[in-house]
Amino acid sequence: MEGKILTDKSLKIAIASGKGGTGKTLISTSMFYAIQEKYENSVLLDCDAEEPNSLLFFDASLKESLKVVQKVPVIDTDKCVYCGKCHDYCEYNAIFIIPPSRIIKVIEELCHGCGACSVACEYDAIIEKDTEVGRVNLFVTDNGMNLVEARMKSGVMSPVPVIKAAHKSTSDKDIVIMDSPPGTSCPFIQTVVEADYVILVTEPTPFGLSDLKQSVNTLKTMHKQYGVVINRAGLGDTKVYDYLKSENIELLAEIPFDKEIAILYSTGKIVAAHDDNLKALFMKIFESIYNSYGNSGNQR
């Protein structure tokens, strides 16, 4: 698009927080909005597959919907000898078996598709079938903004395969801004594992501090680069600031506790589209990360 930079670097930034409701969607939508005006070939990727909501902030049309499938075992009861080995190997209790009654059943909703049961079975009694676990939806706005959402099917236990597929669908993009699932469990890890840099969003409250510590500990074990944005600054106490100082963690920015921001966000507006100061702030955060962590030579 005219006036945009086609960068020679690639960069993936995950916006994450230890709990929901801290403002990561506000920040990811606003940062993407700010940078996409300048950087060609960028995308906003919503990895919160259980409840993706980034799309609500954009007027976008569905361009493509990719089915994500997972292998689920099917037991051939003619070959099965009801030895129970597959049940013992399944870490997710997805195989129900009563040998004396010759009953065996795969509980598909609990199955994670790991394949351990197939490996365990010595009687060739397990085959695998594809089952849909979700979709990766690709959207585009009238003015060319690219948006991707990972959306798991309801009733499925793990969003991880959908998140993996969503990452793959953005592999041709140079700049990827990811809205991460809340928490520090598998969906968070599957999201940030792809990131060059993680922005942790917190608020200056005891809950915010507790969740921030968990996120930081997880990122340390993953050897990830990260910094912190404090949202609703001015709301609580100074303990989050003390923690950042004591751990030598970079404070990237503070977003004030402000009624106007809250109204914009709660009415489905991209905050950076209505607040030039915040738009400039998000661009500044992005470019400081881009200058330090972008990978030379794009991957297209």
What's the closest the beta carbon of residue 275 comes to ligand SF4, in angstroms? Answer: 47
What's the closest the beta carbon of residue 102 comes to ligand SF4, in angstroms? Answer: 10
Our finding on whether 80 is near ligand SF4 (CB under 6 A) is yes
The separation between CA 281 and the C-alpha centre of its own chain, rounded to angstroms, equals 23
What's the closest the beta carbon of residue 132 comes to ligand SF4, in angstroms? Answer: 15
Q: How many CB atoms lie within 10 A of CB 15?
A: 28
**106 vs 216 by CB, closer to ligand SF4:** 106
Q: Which of 69, 74, 83, 140 is in the footprint of ligand SF4 by CB under 6 A?
A: 83
- Total residues at interface with ligand SF4 (CB under 6 A): 28
Near ligand SF4 in 114-143, by CB under 6 A: 114-117, 120-121, 123, 125-126
Our finding on whether 81 is near ligand SF4 (CB under 6 A) is yes
- Please return the burial class of 117, using the count of CB atoms within 10 Å of its CB with bins 0-12, 13-18 and 19+: buried
Q: Which of 184, 194, 185, 143 is nearest to 164 (CA)?
A: 194
Our finding on whether 90 is near ligand SF4 (CB under 6 A) is yes
What's the closest the beta carbon of residue 86 comes to ligand SF4, in angstroms? Answer: 3
User: Are the C-beta atoms of 166 and 136 separated by less than 8 Å?
Assistant: yes
Q: How many CB atoms lie within 10 A of CB 155?
A: 8
Our finding on whether 49 is near ligand SF4 (CB under 6 A) is no
What's the closest the beta carbon of residue 187 comes to ligand SF4, in angstroms? Answer: 17
Q: Which of 89, 243, 257, 265 is in the footprint of ligand SF4 by CB under 6 A?
A: 89
Interface segment toward ligand SF4; rule CB under 6 A; list 26-34, 49-57, 77-85, 148-156: 77-85
Tell me the longest C-alpha to C-alpha distance in the chain.
72
Q: Which of 75, 212, 253, 264 is in the footprint of ligand SF4 by CB under 6 A?
A: 75
What's the closest the beta carbon of residue 156 comes to ligand SF4, in angstroms? Answer: 12
CA distance 42 to 109: 35
What's the closest the beta carbon of residue 214 comes to ligand SF4, in angstroms? Answer: 26
Interface segment toward ligand SF4; rule CB under 6 A; list 112-120, 170-178, 187-195, 208-216: 112-120
What's the closest the beta carbon of residue 107 comes to ligand SF4, in angstroms? Answer: 8
Our finding on whether 15 is near ligand SF4 (CB under 6 A) is no
Sites of contact with ligand SF4 (CB under 6 A): 73, 75, 80-86, 89-90, 92, 94-95, 104, 106, 111-117, 120-121, 123, 125-126
